[in-house]
Amino acid sequence: MTSRRDFLEKIAVSTIGLPFLSFANTACAEAEGPVADGKVLRVAIMGLGGYGTRVAEAMQSCTRAKLTGVISGTPSKIKDWQSKYNIPEKNCYNYENFDNIKNNPDIDAVYIITPNGLHKEQTIRVANAGKHVICEKPMANNARDGQEMVNACKAANVKLLIGYRIHFEPKTLEIVRMRMDGEFGKVKFFQGLSGFTIGDPKQWRLNKELAGGGALMDIGIYAINGSRYMIGEEPIWVTAQETKTDPAKFKDGVDETIQFQLGFPSGAVASCLSTYAMNNLDRFFLTAEKGYALLYPSTGYGPIEGETHKGKLMHPHKTHQTVQMDEMAAIIFDDKKPVVPVDGQEGVKDMKIIDAIYEATRSGKSVDIRM
Amino acid sequence: MTSRRDFLEKIAVSTIGLPFLSFANTACAEAEGPVADGKVLRVAIMGLGGYGTRVAEAMQSCTRAKLTGVISGTPSKIKDWQSKYNIPEKNCYNYENFDNIKNNPDIDAVYIITPNGLHKEQTIRVANAGKHVICEKPMANNARDGQEMVNACKAANVKLLIGYRIHFEPKTLEIVRMRMDGEFGKVKFFQGLSGFTIGDPKQWRLNKELAGGGALMDIGIYAINGSRYMIGEEPIWVTAQETKTDPAKFKDGVDETIQFQLGFPSGAVASCLSTYAMNNLDRFFLTAEKGYALLYPSTGYGPIEGETHKGKLMHPHKTHQTVQMDEMAAIIFDDKKPVVPVDGQEGVKDMKIIDAIYEATRSGKSVDIRM
């Protein structure tokens, strides 16, 4: 069995030790927009686990984002991060006192990287503290909670962004550009396979309360989100079929494997697989009137590999989270509009589809999701 | 738009002009079993269209099968074939008089390569004439007709085989062997994408009466059949979703695009696409506990390309229909048991799934197909 991190790293080539590649990518990002210039986003990370650590590392290469604070329930972790990232005591919080962040001028935004079921309350508290929120995906346990988060951030006049790092990935964006420019003609079919074999059965990702579900929330969401940015439409119907081979590991409400299908207004269709019980599936395929696009791997942390009918995509890899945080600084401070949205409403769209997929697995019927 | 033949040939490299390759393959086939020895199957082809022509050409390289007769409604075609294949007048029939084939000692079997909707009556007439039947897939318009064909052949004491050429394809068979030998461990997921953009809207394949349906009957059946031999189980449930973007071309009862999903007793699942409205989809993918298998192209007429977690499959290509006809001679005369069945009951199994897929598209519900 593979742990989640093992899987996502298996296909990752760290950019550490590849300074030239990294430099080339920075130049590339600069060429596309004024990301390197402008106000630096000072970020506190809430949740110092595996992914929080990855984001912190990636931010060290950012030009417009900087880690300035931490929020954690584990004092020893805070200590480690303080020394590693030179974070002063006054920028450290726990889950009881982090509302006080409102009085901290060193922190512009909080990146919430905690179990899904905690996102809503935490987002609302951060918003009420007057700080921008970056929230890891899935944004919440369901669309209703997600919408509450959007509303709270709007009311507090702060921005809410969801951690969709792939929305800034250059090969992905090239395919989106080609689609927008009509180079595929009419899009016909998208296939998204997203899954891996999950390890430790005691982790929060297999806890219904904390995760909000199972594989679909964590990894299947990539195929959902991918179907939307690859096809460029919002789905109008959903069907889904759940299969559970290990009910001891995957308890009630925690999905192991779900196949789901989406229909789009143009007649394009998507066929997707979400699973915690198969080895390393990470593949997007789009076929269209005039050609095709393939991303494989499509969403892992490492270099995304892609090709279209026009040839192999050669855009250099840069650590996704580095690009994401620089771009999010520009979105927050300069109102930059990303090609593929990363705002709270984008998160709610995915959550509505997730809700519909779960409904379809229960009812066995097609669910109308015209938004 | 691509015609059916264009598509299937696009990925085909003719073995004509490649005598060494052909020679090597013959040697390979001989090494595997006594196909080259034994009684020669003398075959009449019924239906002298594009695929009939392909089969006739391929049979010229057979060691155990020989074209000795024709059945056609078009006298000019019969004349052409007579001169090309040196077929005597007495072995030529039309659709009115072919029952007389029972008195012809030069013909052992009839290969029916006509529109699907005609297969049942033609099969029963050939069986009643005491000749073995090879019937192109899909064997009939539905499972009930297919079962009648099986019953008629049984009663007449003749064999009924279905034209599943891929069941003799060596890369496919290597994957089946690996699966049977446990080299994949537990099989988890099969994906079959089968489709192309069909041309001429007036062809019989788009006529409900003659074709029995649309893409599913003609090309989607490959994914159905593939899911069974790749997974090695019979499905227990089916769900399906139909999409039609061109109702002028695809009339009532003629399917353009169907996504379908199959569930198997072990918990393995299949996700398939059948379409007449997308370019050149021909891909099988199997993922399992210990590895994976990929066939791409998986069912086209040309060389099948494949790989597994153990590496690329290097089995040489031999014209599928040549191998098929030699093997079918051994099945008919020597009672050889193929690894993947090609008998009438195998055809009925596919037809039951096709019936269930159509039912599922209509009802929107999961259809139980425990066989």
**Pairing status of strand A306-308 against strand B277-288:** unpaired
Chain A: give the shortest CA distance to residue B50, in Å: 26
Chain B: give the shortest CA distance to residue A359, in Å: 14
- Give the pair of three-digit tokens for residue B249: 């071309």
Cβ-defined contact of B241 to A259 (cutoff 8 Å): no
Lowest-pLDDT range of A50-59, A165-174, B2-11, B335-344: B2-11
Chain A: give the shortest CA distance to residue B311, in Å: 17
Provide the pLDDT confidence category of residue B32 given band limits of 50, 70 and 90: very low
Residues A281-292: pLDDT tens digits? 999 999 999 999
Cβ-defined contact of B259 to A269 (cutoff 8 Å): yes
Task: Please state, as a whole number, how many other Cβ atoms lie within 10 Å of the Cβ of residue B151.
Answer: 14
Residues of chain A contacting residue B193, judged by C-beta atoms under 8 Å apart: 191
Lowest-pLDDT range of A32-36, A156-160, A200-204, B194-198: A32-36
| Cα(B144)–Cα(A222) distance, integer angstroms | 42
Greater model confidence, A10 or B16: A10
Cβ-defined contact of A241 to B269 (cutoff 8 Å): yes
pLDDT of residue A8: 54
Name the residue of chain B whose CA is nearest to A280's CA. Answer: B287
Provide the pLDDT confidence category of residue A87 given band limits of 50, 70 and 90: very high
B137 is catalytic: yes
* Cα dihedral: A207, A208, A213, A217 (round 10): -50
Which candidate, B31, B313, B34, B37, places its Cα nearest to that of B170?
A: B313
Which candidate, B257, B267, B264, B119, places its Cα nearest to that of B195?
A: B257
- Residue B295: phi and psi, rounded to 5, are -125, 125
Give me the sign of the Cα torsion angle A359, A360, A362, A364.
positive
Computed over every residue of chain A, the mean pLDDT equals 92
pLDDT of residue A4: 56
Which candidate, B136, B140, B138, places its Cα nearest to that of B151?
A: B140
Residues B276-334: pLDDT tens digits? 999 999 999 999 999 999 999 999 999 999 999 999 999 999 999 999 999 999 999 99
Which candidate, A259, A323, A338, A258, places its Cα nearest to that of A30?
A: A323
Residues of chain B contacting residue A241, judged by C-beta atoms under 8 Å apart: 239, 261, 263, 269, 366
Lowest-pLDDT range of A309-318, A327-336, B24-33, B80-89: B24-33
- Residue A44: phi and psi, rounded to 5, are -105, 135
- Give the pair of three-digit tokens for residue B65: 């099968």
Cβ-defined contact of A269 to B193 (cutoff 8 Å): no
Q: Which amino acid is at A5?
A: R
Cβ-defined contact of A273 to B271 (cutoff 8 Å): yes
Crossing angle of helices B143-155 and B344-363, in 10° steps, is 160
Of A241, A273, A365, the CB nearest to B189: A273
| Cα(A198)–Cα(A157) distance, integer angstroms | 39
- Give the pair of three-digit tokens for residue B166: 């891929």
Chain A: give the shortest CA distance to residue B366, in Å: 7
Cβ atoms B254, B206 nearer than 8 A: yes
Tell me the sheet residues that pair with B189. Answer: B269, B287
Question: What is the DSSP track for B244-268?
Answer: -S-TTTS-TT--SEEEEEEE-TTS-
For the sheet containing A237-243, what is the strand order? A311-312, A306-308, A291-295, A277-288, A187-197, A269-275, A257-263, A237-243, A367-368
In chain B, what percentage of residues exceed pLDDT 70?
90
pLDDT of residue B28: 37
Cβ atoms A223, A193 nearer than 8 A: yes
Selected residue of B238, B256, B273 to mutate for chain A interface (largest A Cβ count, 10 A): B273
| Cα(A167)–Cα(A172) distance, integer angstroms | 7
pLDDT at B73 over 50: yes
Cβ atoms B258, B361 nearer than 8 A: yes
pLDDT of residue A371: 74
| Cα(B232)–Cα(B235) distance, integer angstroms | 10
In b/e form, how buried is each residue of B284-311, taking b as 16+ CB within 10 angstroms?
bbbbbeeebbbbbbbbbbbbbbbbbeee
Provide the pLDDT confidence category of residue B5 given band limits of 50, 70 and 90: low
Spatial CB neighbours of B76, under 8 Å, sequence gap ≥ 6: none
Task: Please state, as a whole number, how many other Cβ atoms lie within 10 Å of the Cβ of residue B178.
Answer: 20
Provide the pLDDT confidence category of residue B36 given band limits of 50, 70 and 90: low
| Cα(A188)–Cα(B195) distance, integer angstroms | 12
Residue labelled with tokens 């007579």: B82
Name the residue of chain B whose CA is nearest to A2's CA. Answer: B289
Cβ atoms A143, A348 nearer than 8 A: yes
Cβ atoms A298, A230 nearer than 8 A: no
Spatial CB neighbours of A149, under 8 Å, sequence gap ≥ 6: A119, A120, A123, A124, A127, A133, A135, A139, A140, A160, A344, A347
Residues of chain B contacting residue A193, judged by C-beta atoms under 8 Å apart: 191
Provide the pLDDT confidence category of residue B25 given band limits of 50, 70 and 90: very low
pLDDT of residue A36: 56
pLDDT at A213 over 90: yes
Selected residue of A227, A239, A357 to mutate for chain B interface (largest B Cβ count, 10 A): A239
- Which residues of chain B approach chain A closer than 8 Å at the C-beta? 188-189, 191, 193, 239, 241, 243-245, 257, 259, 261, 263, 266-267, 269, 271, 273, 275, 277-279, 281, 287, 289, 292, 364-366
Crossing angle of helices A320-334 and A19-32, in 10° steps, is 30
Residues of chain B contacting residue A266, judged by C-beta atoms under 8 Å apart: 245
Residues A306-350: pLDDT tens digits? 999 999 999 999 999 999 999 999 999 999 999 999 999 999 999
Cβ-defined contact of A243 to B271 (cutoff 8 Å): no
Name the residue of chain A whose CA is nearest to B291's CA. Answer: A279
Cβ-defined contact of A189 to B241 (cutoff 8 Å): no
Lowest-pLDDT range of A90-94, A121-125, B4-8, B9-13: B9-13
Provide the pLDDT confidence category of residue A83 given band limits of 50, 70 and 90: very high
Instruction: Spell out where chain A has E strands.
Output: 41-46, 65-71, 92-93, 109-112, 132-135, 160-162, 187-197, 237-243, 257-263, 269-275, 277-288, 291-295, 306-308, 311-312, 367-368
Three-state DSSP state, B270 = strand
Residues B318-348: pLDDT tens digits? 999 999 999 999 999 999 999 999 999 999 9
Spatial CB neighbours of A283, under 8 Å, sequence gap ≥ 6: A191, A192, A193, A294, A295, A296, A297, A298
Residues of chain A contacting residue B243, judged by C-beta atoms under 8 Å apart: 263, 267, 269
- Give the pair of three-digit tokens for residue A79: 């200590």
Cβ atoms A349, A228 nearer than 8 A: yes
Q: Residue A315 has what DSSP assignment?
A: P
Selected residue of A242, A269, A357 to mutate for chain B interface (largest B Cβ count, 10 A): A269
What angle (nearest 5°) sits at the alpha carbon of residue A256, between those of residues A251 and A258?
Answer: 130
Residues of chain B contacting residue A365, judged by C-beta atoms under 8 Å apart: 364-365
Cis peptide before B297 (omega within 30 of 0): yes
Instruction: Spell out where B296-370 has E strands.
Output: 306-308, 311-312, 367-368
Give me the sign of the Cα torsion angle B302, B308, B312, B318.
negative
Cβ atoms B263, B282 nearer than 8 A: no
Residues of chain B contacting residue A277, judged by C-beta atoms under 8 Å apart: 188
Chain A: give the shortest CA distance to residue B289, in Å: 7
Chain B: give the shortest CA distance to residue A262, in Å: 9
State the complex-level ipTM: 0.87
* Cα dihedral: B138, B139, B143, B148 (round 10): 170
* Cα dihedral: B351, B356, B361, B363 (round 10): 150
pLDDT of residue A5: 56
Greater model confidence, A352 or B14: A352
Of B239, B278, B289, the CB nearest to A241: B239
The distance between the two most distant Cα atoms of chain B, rounded to a whole number of Å, is 58
* R_g of chain B, CA atoms, integer Å: 20
The catalytically annotated residue of B120, B131, B137, B352 is: B137
Residues of chain A contacting residue B275, judged by C-beta atoms under 8 Å apart: 188-189
Chain B: give the shortest CA distance to residue A269, in Å: 8
pTM for the full predicted model: 0.89
Three-state DSSP state, B212 = coil
Tell me the sheet residues that pair with B273. Answer: B193, B259
Q: Sketch out chain A's domains with CATH numbers.
A: 4-165 (3.40.50.720), 166-316+344-368 (3.30.360.10)
Task: Please state, as a whole number, how many other Cβ atoms lie within 10 Å of the Cβ of residue B17.
Answer: 8
| Cα(A153)–Cα(A131) distance, integer angstroms | 9
| Cα(B146)–Cα(B346) distance, integer angstroms | 10
Tell me the sheet residues that pair with B160. Answer: B133
Cβ-defined contact of A278 to B189 (cutoff 8 Å): yes
Residues B223-274: pLDDT tens digits? 999 999 999 999 999 999 999 999 999 999 999 999 999 999 999 999 999 9
Cβ atoms A218, A211 nearer than 8 A: yes
